[in-house]
Structure 1
Amino acid sequence: MKLAVCTAVVFFTLFGTECLHAADSRPNILVMMVDDLGYSDLGCYGSEIDTPNLDALAANGLRFSQFYNTAKCHSSRVSLLTGQYCIAAGDTALTHAVTSAEVLADSGYFTAMTGKWHLDGQPTDFGFQKYFGHLSGACNYFTGDNTFRLNGEKWQVPKEGFYTTTANVDYALEFLGEARQTKSPWFLYVAFNAPHAPLHALPEDYAKYKGRYDEGWDKVRAARVAKQKQIGILPATLKESPRPDHILAWEDMEPWRQKYEANRMTTLAAMIDRVDQEIGRLVTDLRSRGELENTLILFVSDNGACPYDRKKPLLDVEPTTGDISLADSTGWSWMRNSPFRYYKQNQFEGGISTPGIVHWPAGLKTSPGSVVDTPVHLIDVMPTLADVAGAEVPETWPARELRPVSGISLLPLFEGNEIERPSPIHLLFSKDRGLRDGDWKIVSFQSSPWELYHVADDRAELHNLAHSEPERVQQMVETWTNMARGVLHAKPNVYAPVDKKTEPHRHREWTNFDSDAPSKGQQVMRRRSQNRGKPNKPIRARKNTRLTLEDGTLQLQFTGEDPGIAMDLRGHDLPNGPYRLTFKLRDGSRDGGELFFTTDSERTLPKGERLTFPVVADGEWQSISLDLATKSRIYQLRIDVSSGPGKATISELQLGDEQGQLLMSWPEKESN
């Protein structure tokens, strides 16, 4: 999941008469993406959060009621930039795709980006001539991390006065100024990391929402659904999904938990409000240049609200500095994805359906404020950009083996016409699957048995028709499988048959409502600092990971999202770098692997340096060699070879110096 949301705003700018370039009058393009935004998180989609700038764009443009994403941060960014499904494009390495920046730069555009990247390499490796932002998938909003780059070079986050949402627009405006001096059309991509966790808000934004969410998610959700029907983004006859069993009724929770949960939503609302304010700065800049009338704006999200509650509760804190942050909430994610079921990563509507706004007074042929019900997807963005810009999508590209684009141009919809999609919309992340084919949809929760919904009448996916229409399910499953094999070029394990037994839909990282009240936040933090530096196991399994030793190999079983192993080296006598880490890997996931390491004994993972590597995951042994190009001593290592449930085997895991001298090995013996 670049508003990382996971939300994208695309401005196509046709200059006013006074601003036309003599040599090139093609539209300028500005894409903005936010991270983990729920379907109902904007005022024009039912929210009580103040989003006047986006609401104004919707009132004078059009909204999509069915704008789909991939339900996950990085895969949505791949689809947005390439017009392909993530696996087909070569995952985060983009080995089988070209980006919109490359297509437009090749067509004479000035290209720039700010914000979250979350793919391999850097934006400057994929067609962006200018870049400011962080390469990581998430970071502290006030202190950032060490992946920040400015035009390909490391950039040091200031110690004071920094907040990522604001900084992204600061540099966006700076790049716009540079672009306008070139007299060429420009393409600017702004990728906010808000409102992705960690939850951090500016003090003035946080203060605005204090007390607003004390009534709880049941009442707030009911109000949002009522507003959605009243403003026409959803039909008045729609039956919303009920609160699921894994979320408590607000009135049944202890007072301490109510207070804690209200604080989380207060922070989220403040973060979303700030994104809208920063979008307002961009809109004001366009208006002052006489460009707004001929600016095409497409606004979408990378996925729905995130349910993964990955921190212990902190009580009586205000997350308005870099020292304190809050985690995502499953209960509020259910509310934010109103009226749908489930969340980020799931291919149910709550995970994949998010806001989509188009604003273009000079180009839209639809009535202002229209709602378009045609299903569209992030794969359609790049073909649309190329169509509007008059650019050709190449069939070949140096050092890459390109695959066909799966998306289609949305320009006919902007002109009041229809689109004809040649194939259904394929939905997949990890073990969550789905297919949207016309009015019908099949969906599987983490490879559980397929479910069937007639979404034209049942958008909230309440009435599973799989048992009454088995032939339709079989036909749609065959289509999904054939697309996974022939369009995505996925490995057989990706499209293996789903489970036959139905289990309750649960995830171990959803909020645990059985936990006891924690200590005060500052006491929790003090205990953590007291524990820092104590010796740990030489190698340990991270969350959602079971580690066993067998015949000198590390046997890993992954039961949830973001698993892996970590090694604490602080108690070992190591020389300064550079280093080389080598190992053999079998299985894992084709989403790719990551290595994190720290060169500061006080810094905790994953806040250190990050390297990525491809994972073949074909059942055969794969040799991995990673160079840690640091001249400092390392203190911690973390290896991730899968993004979700599965298994892997690691053998001959060794850390050496640049001359090849063995320093440490796991699990057999440690260094000489």
Structure 2
Amino acid sequence: MKRRDMFLGMFALLVLSALSATVAMAQKAQVDRTELPLKGPWYPPITTLDARDAKAPPVFEVKAPKDAPNVVIILLDDLGFGGTGATGSVLPTPHFDKLARNGLLYNQFHTTALCSPTRQALITGRNHHSCNQAKITEVATSFPGATGMLPNDIATIAETLRLNGYSTAAYGKHHETAVWEISPSGPFTRWPNFVGFDEFYGFMGGETNQWSPAVYHNLNRVETPDDPDYHFMNDMATKSIEWMRFQQALTPDKPFFVYFAPGAVHAPHHVPKSYIEKQKGRFDEGWDVIRERIFEQQKKLGVIPADTKLAKKPDDIKDWSELSDKEKKLYARQAEVFSAFLDMTDHETGRVIQAIEDMGELDNTLIFYIAGDNGTSAEGGMSGLYNEMTYFNAEPQGSDIDVMLKHYDNWGDPSTYPHMAAGWAVAFDSPFTWTKQIASNYGGTRNAMVVHWPERIQAKGEIRSQWHHVIDVAPTILEAIGLPQPRIVNGVPQRPIEGTSMAYTWDYPNAPSQHTIQYFEMFGNRGIYFDGWFAGTVHVKPWANPENRFPEDTWELYHVAEDFSMSTDLAKQHPDILAKLQQVFLGEAVKYKVLPLDDRRQELFNPKLAGRPDLMFGRKELTLYEGMDGLLENDFINVKNTSFEIVAEIDSGDKPVNGVIVAQGGRFGGWSLHVKDGIPRYTYNYLGLEHSVAAGKTKLPNGKSTVKMDFAYEGGKKPGAGGTATLYVNGKSVASTKIPKTEFSVFSADESAGVGIDMETPVSEEYDRSGSKFTGKIDKVTITLK
């Protein structure tokens, strides 16, 4: 028995010795980074009784590869190829230009023609339909490729870097989360913190009021200062700088990844007057002269070939010489404000870059500065807009010249929510014809990009002309760091990256393009690039409705290897090539879930028509309590185009109360049930153009009371009609008002609804944001649709 025990003991020692040797070998072997999170080493059971007699194994830590660079992606919004100084623009971008002089400028880099799709493709390395981001999240449908919900088998570059030992942070615009998931109920799986970002500070919609933004810090809504000098562009730059300094102070050996995505220069064009004053008179010559000047400067700089022709502008864009003096005055002002907004944006971005240099990290930081997520926006229509929400609600007053000229002096300040005329978008997309939304023309998809990494890229101030796409950024980052594409992330097998690394261009300026085929599609505007040729069709203009059914669309053909600006349509000369490319498009469309094509726009803002989930779907009643605020439009019961009532149970205490009981929207459209000096009121704010107010004549009684507002809609099934709002206190009618028109589509892109406070901007002119907080108690508020 003793011999048997001795044998078993010796056998156990041999096994443990072998296991220890195996573990030691495994520790020396390279870490397998294809399965994330990284697995720690296995250690054999410890048989030593006393810790003093045992040697502890090392604690497993996830660390980035040796000498891994920091990575920064800077992504501007709604700025086309002719929008930077480095690409010939008259617009001020000194910090972009400085990076271009010290790095590489790419003059054939492409986006998707719209914001959410570009952003999702950028941070995943997959095509936007693969990411289910056919369009913006607000118009998602239930079709595969268009649901707005990032699949689990597509991990972002942020998650990949985080799980490989990076600190990660995102600042600014995050327009990638499904709108029905942006509420305190979640789910949070597609919020920034759960797709790879340790830190997030920004907004979750397509745009925000830069003076009074709807900001989230990680999962929580935060109130920004009620300060006339506050501006979100400055705020987000400061927050990103503070985070990088903190991260480097605590963990100087740990690399960081920062995704810096301003909401600028997307509408609303909000900017301090000090920036606007610098632009005075710079655009008086008009968009035709400015467009030609940009084009000539592009040739002079060599960012376009010397034999490039300036493509014709769209037929709908008037010549500047045909405009009235009033139109010229207004449109020049719009361009001044847009230019000022870009100036501020580039300045604040420069602060971020300077902070990296001050920390001694610039040389080993890989920076991608992408000047736009699509072409410049023409969504302001032919005349621009005093309030962009008028466009979404088909209100012609918003683009009336005389109405807009009333706001000439304060264009861009907090009293406006402006956009510019489409003629400027065409100019700043020079040398191309089209703009944002037109995925079938480089004016909608080509954006200037600089790559800057002094420690690795030896060339400085050079142009790279290889053809690339936004899906190529993620694989470039992985190659630069020396990381493989992960095979499994968080237990889910991953779909292969669909982009192509651009790293080969760094050392080989004349290397052939390795990205040789790419489809494009947006609202039915569609095209295909294949090895120097481009075929596409403009199905719908940004400012119009579709004119054809899809089979009736006219396709164009360009030999873009020789025709940089897409100026000469070769469809009639080469019908065989066009037919082949059309077949290639259909093949790619099936492969990447592009079909069915969907050209609906405003209709898709209605969840029922779109077929997407909605928090309030089918509900006729919503009860909220004090403290429930910051609810975006998709989180709130839809009171548009219908009769409804609001019943609020409140307690005034022993003195007259003030403040908001419940409100939705803000200065540029919405409604508010509020109290002023004890007197109840209901205000309907129609797009900032007209205020209808029902005001009681006597103060609310002390103590508890029930305040009710009943709105009788008079339009039947017709959207946007008016009605009558009647106020009641304790069952007695106390006031009534006629509301001529209502907003049928959307109150705001980011203004919220809430009980007891009116966040962001005030609906009513009778209170300001700080004075909107209700001074009594609110037991509950019930909104019921009729």
Which category of TM-score, normalised to the shorter sequence, fits these structures?
A: 0.7 to 0.9
Is 1:435–1:442's contact at 8 Å kept on the other side of the alignment?
yes
2:586: which partner in 1?
A: 481
Q: CA deviation at 1:529?
A: 5.3
SS of the aligned residue for 1:476 comes to: helix
| Match of residue 362, structure 1, among 421, 430, 455 | 455
Matched AA of 2:206: G
Task: Tell me the equivalent position of 1:306.
Answer: 377
Correspondence for 1:141 among 210, 214, 228: 210
In structure 2, give the amino acid aligned to 1:238: T
Task: For 1:171 and 1:57, locate their aligned partners in 2 and report how far apart those are by CA, in whole Å.
Answer: 22
- Could you tell me which runs of 5 or more consecutive residues in structure 1 were left unpaired when the two chains were aligned: 1-20, 496-520, 541-546, 550-564, 576-594, 598-603, 611-629, 635-660, 665-669
CA change 1:573–1:401 in 2 (3 A) is farther
Alpha-carbon distance change, 484 to 364 in structure 1, aligned in 2, over 3 angstroms:
same
User: Aligned-pair distance for 1:248?
Assistant: 1.4
User: What are the superposed Cα offsets for residues 492-535 of structure 1, whole Å, 9 maximum, x if unpaired?
Assistant: 4469xxxxxxxxxxxxxxxxxxxxxxxxx9xxx99945434589
> Contact 2:71–2:258 (CA<8 Å) still a contact in 1?
yes
Q: Which residue of 2 aligns with 1:471?
A: 576
C-alpha distance 61-570 of structure 1, shift in aligned 2 (>3 A): farther
AA partner of residue 337 (structure 1):
D
1:142 and 1:370 map into 2 onto residues whose CA distance is 38
- Deviation, structure 1 residue 168: 1.5
Asked if structure 2 preserves the Cα contact closer than 8 Å seen for 1:425 and 1:436, the reply is: yes
Equivalent residue, structure 1, for 2:86 = 44
Distance 1:537 1:48, change over 3 A: farther
Rounded to whole Å, the distance in 1 between the matches of 2:462 and 2:208 is 37
Residue 372 (structure 1) aligned to one of 461, 464, 468: 464
Pick aligned residue for 1:256 from 321, 326, 330: 326
- The reply to whether residue 129 of structure 1 matches residue 198 of structure 2 is yes
Distance 1:234 1:332 in 2: 20
In 2, Cα distance between equivalents of 1:124 and 1:569: 43
Separation of aligned partners in 1, 2:278 and 2:470: 33
Alpha carbons of structure 1 residues 631 and 411: separation in structure 2 relative to 1, 3 Å: same
Identity %: 27
| Aligned 8 A contact 1:200 1:320 in 2 | yes
What's the C-alpha RMSD, in Å, of the aligned pairs? 3.3
Which residue is equivalent to 1:514?
none
CA–CA separation in structure 2 for the residues paired with 1:539 and 1:422:
57
Alignment correspondent of 2:520: 427
What CA deviation, in whole Å up to 9, does each residue of 1:244-272 have, x standing for no partner? Answer: 32111112110110000000100111011
Cα drift, residue 422 of structure 1: 6.4
Does the Cα contact within 8 Å between 1:42 and 1:49 map onto a contact in 2? yes
Does residue 1:113 correspond to 2:175, yes or no?
Answer: no
The answer to whether residue 234 in structure 2 is matched with residue 163 in structure 1 is no
Kept after mapping to 2: 8 A contact 1:317/1:324? no
Tell me how far 1:293 sits from its aligned partner. Answer: 2.7
Does structure 2 conserve the Cα–Cα contact (< 8 Å) formed by 1:199 and 1:268?
yes
Deviation string for 1:100-144 (max 9, x for gaps)? 110101111100010000111421121101010001110111111
Deviations 1:125-180 (A, max 9, x none): 211010100011101111113xx111221111211132121111111101102321
Amino acid at match of 1:363: R
Among 53, 56, 67, which residue is 2:109 paired with? Answer: 67
Q: Decide which of 496, 516, 520 is 1:404's aligned counterpart.
A: 496
CA shift, 1:345, in A, is 0.8
- After superposition, the C-alpha distances for 1:198-237 in whole angstroms (9 at most, x for unaligned) are 1111111111001111111111111111110001101111
Of the candidates 130, 148, 158, which is equivalent to residue 101 of structure 1?
Answer: 158
Post-superposition shift, 1:285? 1.3
- State whether structure 2 residue 445 is matched by structure 1 residue 352: yes
CA distance in 2, matches of 1:45, 1:422: 22
- CA 1:662–1:154: 2 relative to 1, 3 Å: closer
Work out the CA distance in 1 between the residues paired with 2:307 and 2:515: 30
Q: Measure how far apart 1:317 and its partner are.
A: 2.5
SS, match of residue 488 in structure 2: coil
Closer, same or farther in 2 for the Cα pair 1:40/1:149, shift >3 Å? same
After superposition, the C-alpha distances for 1:344-367 in whole angstroms (9 at most, x for unaligned) are: 01020110011111222221143x
Task: Indicate the residue corresponding to 1:625 in structure 2.
Answer: none
Higher Rg = 2
Give matches, 1:190-589, under 5 Å: 190-300=260-370, 301-309=372-380, 310=391, 311-312=398-399, 313=401, 314-315=404-405, 316-347=408-439, 348-366=441-459, 368-398=460-490, 402-416=494-508, 418=511, 421=514, 424-446=517-539, 447=550, 448-486=553-591, 488-493=592-597, 528=688, 530-533=690-693, 538=713, 571=725
State the Cα deviation string for residues 352-394 of structure 1 (Å, max 9, x = none): 011111222221143x221111111100011111222223332
Question: Is 1:153 the equivalent of 2:313?
Answer: no
Question: For 1:207 and 1:570, how far apart are their aligned partners in 2?
Answer: 45
The 1:53–1:493 alpha-carbon spacing in structure 2 relative to 1, beyond 3 Å, is closer
1:292 aligned counterpart, secondary structure: coil
Q: Confirm or deny: 8 A CA contact 1:293 1:361 kept in the other structure.
A: yes
Q: Report if aligned partners of 1:574, 1:633 keep a CA contact under 8 Å in 2.
A: no
Q: Secondary structure at the match of 1:267?
A: helix
d(CA) in 2 for partners of 1:569, 1:134? 34
Using the TM superposition, name which of 399-408 and 282-291 deviates more: 399-408
Give me the whole-angstrom Cα distance separating, in 2, the residues matched to 1:539 and 1:168: 44
Judging changes above 3 Å, is the alpha-carbon distance between structure 1 residues 401 and 451 closer, same or farther for their aligned structure 2 residues? farther
Task: Give SS of 1:531's match.
Answer: strand
Is the Cα–Cα contact under 8 Å of residues 596 and 606 in structure 1 kept in the other structure? Answer: no
- Match for 1:370: what amino acid? E
Alignment match, 1:615? none
Asked whether the 8 Å contact 2:479–2:503 carries over to 1, the reply is yes
Q: 2:534 is paired with a residue of what secondary structure?
A: strand
Alignment check: 8 A CA contact 1:24 1:185 kept: no
Q: Which one-letter code corresponds to 1:460 in the other structure?
A: S
The worse-fitting range, judged by mean Cα deviation, of 527-536 and 161-170 is 527-536
In 1, Cα distance between equivalents of 2:317 and 2:76: 26
Q: 1:258 to 1:450 in 2, by over 3 A?
A: same
- Which residue number in structure 2 is paired with residue 501 of structure 1? none
Asked if the contact 2:64/2:254 (under 8 Å) is kept, the reply is: no
Aligned to 1:648: none
Is the CA contact 1:443–1:450 (under 8 Å) kept in the aligned structure 2? yes
Deviation at 1:400, TM superposition (A): 6.1
CA 1:571–1:426 in 2, change beyond 3 Å: closer, same or farther? same
Q: Which one-letter code corresponds to 2:336 in the other structure?
A: T
Q: Please state how far the C-alpha of 1:420 moved relative to its aligned partner.
A: 5.6
TM-score, normalised with respect to structure 2: 0.62
Deviations 1:437-492 (CA, angstroms, capped at 9, x unpaired):
11100111125222110012222222211222222112111111111111x12344
For residues 197 and 631 of structure 1, what CA distance do their matches in structure 2 show? 28
Moved over 6 A (4+): 534-537, 565-570, 572-575, 630-634
1:526–1:411 Cα change, 3 Å: closer
C-alpha separation in 2, matches of 1:116 and 1:287: 24
Instruction: Please give the alpha-carbon distance, in whole angstroms, between the structure 1 residues aligned to 2:438 and 2:355.
Output: 38
C-alpha separation between the residues in 2 aligned to 1:375 and 1:22? 30
| Preserved CA contact (<8 Å) 1:410 1:419 | no
Q: Secondary structure at the match of 1:321?
A: coil
**One-letter amino acid matched to 1:473:** L
